[in-house]
Amino acid sequence: MLYERSSQLFAEAEKVIPGGVNSPVRAFKSVGGTPIFVQKAKGAYLYDEDGNRLIDYINSWGPMILGHAYEPVVNAVVERAKLGTSFGMPTALETEIAQLAVKMVPGIDKIRFVNSGTEACMSAVRLARGFTKKDKIIKFSGCYHGHSDSFLIQAGSGAITFGAPNSPGVTAGTAKDTLLARYNDLENVADIIRANSGEIAAIIIEPVAGNMGCVPPAKGFLEGLRALCTENGILLLFDEVMTGFRLAQGGAQELFGIQADIVMFGKVIGGGLPVGAFAARQEIMDYLAPLGPVYQAGTLSGNPLAMAAGLTMLQEIHNDATLFNRLAEKTAYLEKGIDKKLQEYGIKYTINRVGSMISVHFDERPVTDFESAKNGDNDTFKKFFHGLLKEGIYIAPSAYETWFITDALSYEDLDYTIEAVGKVAATF
């Protein structure tokens, strides 16, 4: 496959956009080479500017769960656009999508829409702090909750007491209020709570981690967090930006049977338009302006095009009783096929999967947290990525990302992918 036009477009982009991209992972920094410029997409396939067709395993990092250019969503957006694209005034559409979300997600009474997952998580943390009147939060190493200052934190020297900024521009003052814990390590969380007794507003977590590859919660881990939060007056925040409307109608809360205090959404809830949301029981949500003292706002929040896309997407999901089974079956089929091929060629690997989230780590030890995720061999990953790309298959250009499976994938696409994995593994 040739990527001449993509290379030209990237060179032009680099002159006027930092790194040529509007979000860093798109730049292929960790796998090398030139990013692919997309012209259009339909169903399970991307079509790039050089005329190549690629099977897409990223799907806009999650939203395109029913495939690209999904007709009901496209039609809803087109029809809505004719009526005006933004008003900064309430619309009936916002109530309609809110009603459906409240019906689908366990334990929430009210939801507020924002424009990205970052905004949802940032606002949820402010709400948690305002509601509990405490300042500190616990987050887990390797979990990503967007690029808001409080989340760009790494383990500091006294990890049990406070974190350190992991990007210039994040102040030490902000970093001291974010405490870093190890994913799947309840004892560690309990120690941090003890060392910061009465000071913690919230624990924020990806209930299935998807930003260190896919890392499932160990048995009892989420239950344990729920109990620790309840015992200590801490709010449990589930970042369901990836898992929401993907693992089940009611997301990870439904899948694992655990109730969080605030839940955050993004990706699928916008049907491919810029949407995020956060939701909770009434008592917490009514703490938000204009009812309550915690301020949060947005000129384009609840934008009619975004709400039309999101509402149509949620309706499609809500009306499809077998969607999540189909997705899990397709992904399990892929897992089994890749597993067989990598074994056949004696590759060291671990595959993690929950429903339609899956990732291949190039290390044979279990991957249960950020430390073990880092064991993965990046040189092998690079070969894997570029080998698959040559075969017309697009996986995330980083070893730390999850693949998002779409229902638009056929079993022929999956068989083709499995064969390609064998071909690539033979060259390692």
Torsion of CA 126, 184, 267, 24, to 10 degrees: 90
Here's the x/- map for ligand PMP, 201-240, by CB under 6 A: it reads as: -----x---xx---------------------------x-
Q: How far from 425 is each of 36, 349, 364, 373, CA to CA, in Å?
A: 23, 11, 15, 21
Q: Which of 239, 369, 407, 413 is catalytic?
A: 239
Shortest CB 270 distance to ligand PMP, Å = 9
Q: How far from 333 is each of 20, 353, 409, CA to CA, in Å?
A: 36, 11, 12
Active site residue 287: no
Shortest CB 166 distance to ligand PMP, Å = 16
118 binds ligand PMP (CB under 6 A): yes
130 binds ligand PMP (CB under 6 A): no
Here's the x/- map for ligand PMP, 156-195, by CB under 6 A: it reads as: ----------------------------------------
Active site residue 267: yes
Can you tell me which of 67, 146, 165, 376 binds ligand PMP, judged by CB under 6 A?
146
401 binds ligand PMP (CB under 6 A): no
- Pick from 275, 386, 282: nearest CA to 32: 386
Can you tell me which of 10, 37, 57, 61 binds ligand PMP, judged by CB under 6 A?
61
Spatial separation of the C-alpha atoms in residues 419 and 7, rounded to whole Å: 28
Distance of CA 312 to the CA centre of its chain: 20
Buried b (16+ CB within 10 A) or exposed e, 332-343: ebbbebbbebbe
DSSP 8-state assignment for residue 274: S
266 binds ligand PMP (CB under 6 A): yes
Can you tell me which of 93, 125, 242, 424 binds ligand PMP, judged by CB under 6 A?
242
Question: How many CB atoms neighbour CB 159 within 10 A?
Answer: 17
Q: How far from 177 is each of 15, 76, 142, 198, 296, CA to CA, in Å?
A: 38, 43, 18, 13, 20
Q: Which of 45, 57, 144, 349 is catalytic?
A: 144
Shortest CB 116 distance to ligand PMP, Å = 4
Bridge partners of residue 280, in order along the sequence: 110, 262
In the complex, which residues of this chain contact ligand PMP (CB under 6 A)? 61, 116-118, 121, 144-146, 206, 210-211, 239, 241-242, 266, 276
| Catalytic residue set | 144, 239, 267
